[in-house]
Amino acid sequence: MDIVRRIIALTIKEFIMILKDPKSRFVIIGPPLIQFFVFGYAATYDLKNVSYAVFDESRTYESRQLLSRFKGSENFELTKTLLAEREIAPIINREKVRLVIHIGPEFSRDLHNGRPATLQVIVDGRNSNVALIALGYIGSIVEQYNQDLVKNRMVTMDGPGLVLMNRSWFNANLESRWFIVSALGGLISMVVVMILTSLSVAREREFGTFDQLLVAPFNPAEILIGKSLPGMLFGIMDALLFAAGAVYWFGVPFRGTVPTLILALGCFIITIVGVGLLVSSLSMTMQQALLGSFVFMMPSVILSGFATPIENMPHWLQVGTLINPLRHIITALRNIFLEGAGISMVWPQLWPLLLMAGFALPLAAWMFRHRSQ
């Protein structure tokens, strides 16, 4: 009973430390929520309103018909009509438009004579990903146009040809927001928990109150539990709020079950609490703790598969990402949300998390005393 009483006392003290200051009270609830919504809107690979200019030298019925398909697409927005070739370079250089569609004077003649007519596209490659996606959109517009020409007997297929039939599973309209938003909660709750826990020991070290805690009749395990609970609680609370926001605000499908979600988030948050406390127990000042948590967080965000796929990395780096807790929860969250994974399906992601927690937490407790001396 004594242990429980001591742990309760410690936990209350930790909560008071976080909640007594109105600024820090606000910081753990307000900004994470705002971020979630702002970034949920901002983080998408789907292009809308890509500004483009048209340089139509053909000026025929056919060229206008093809161009009208771009005008009708919500992915593109016509910004300027060019009258001379020399206007192309400056307009792209100055970022007035993302791409220029150029139709040469022979366009409709070629089309009628059965020669392939050329649609020239010049894209600003400064953001190569945007360039590739935009080219993909153009590719499908032109493909559709070609198929319609055949269907309307405007041109005849004078030889065998292939027709691409694309389908995508789990996400038929290829909405990248689902992919990003389902994982975003994991990322933001990691940031909150990491900051909260990494400062907890370091703050007391900096003010000298940690020595008092060490000489008080608490053993390191009790201190560890007391320091972990607030982070755990706020972390899971934030993460669940984000999950609800993803489903009810952003309309991300939730195909899994709530217990699986809670279990996965619990495993993740306890790991992050462990890492945060480990960083904290190694730091003598708050500055060290914060910079330390950044040294942890930056690579783990980049190597998590959040924005750039793990599959694109070289093999050795893919293996390296296995020790990244964020990678596991992001995979688990996506599986739970989009594929309806149950506990057994996300277990391969959960046990590495528990293993990392089982390593980080005791090490942090051991460091409490040993680093202080």
Partner 1 sequence: MTPRVLFFMRMRGILRKEVFQILRDPSSIALAIVLPLVLLFIFGYGVTLDADNVPVAVVLDDNGPAAREVSARFDLSPYFKTVHLTSMTDATKLLSQRDVDGIVHLQNDFSEDLYKRNRAPVQVIINGIDANRARLIQGYTRGVLQKWTEVRQARGKPVALPAVKISQRVWFNEAAVSRDFLVPGLITLIMTLIGILLTALVVAREWERGTMEAILVTPIRRVDLLLGKMLPYFVLGMLGMGLSVWVGVTLFHVPFRGSIVALFILSALFMLASSGFGLLISAAVRVQFVAAQISIVAGFLPALFLSGLIFDLDSTPRFIQIVSYVVPARYFVDISHTLFMAGDIWPVLLPNALALTGMAVLFISLAFRKITKRLEG
Closer Cβ to partner 1, 7 or 193, answer by number? 193
CB of 163 to partner 1, least distance (A): 5
Residue type, 297: M
Q: How far is the CB of 56 from partner 1 (least distance, A)?
A: 14
Distance CA(213)–CA(237), nearest Å, equals 28
- Look at residue 53 and give its three-state secondary structure: strand
CB of 51 to partner 1, least distance (A): 7
- The angle subtended at Cα 162 by Cα 161 and Cα 163, nearest 5°, is 125
Q: Which residue has the tokens 């306890």?
A: 270
Separation of alpha carbons 196 and 208, rounded Å: 19
Closest CA to 28 of 13, 18, 38: 18
List the structure tokens of 296.
Answer: 């942890």
Phi then psi for residue 28, to 5 deg, are -85, -15
Query: Hey, what are 34's tokens?
Result: 């705002």
Q: Is the CB of residue 11 less than 8 Å from the CB of residue 231?
A: no
- What six digits make up the tokens of 70? 């771009």
Decide if 287 contacts 199 (C-beta within 8 A).
Answer: no
Task: Name the CA radius of gyration of the chain, rounded.
Answer: 28
Q: Return the structure tokens found at 246.
A: 């993803």
Our CB check for partner 1 shows the closer of 149 and 354 to be 149
Bridge partners of 172, per DSSP, are none
Query: What is the per-residue DSSP string for 302-356?
Result: HTTTSSS-GGGS-HHHHHHGGG-HHHHHHHHHHIIIII---HHHHHHHHHHHHHH
Here the tokens at position 103 are 């139709």
What is the DSSP secondary structure assignment for residue 203, as one 8-state letter? H
Q: In what order do the strands lie in the sheet with 50-56?
A: 76-81, 50-56, 99-103
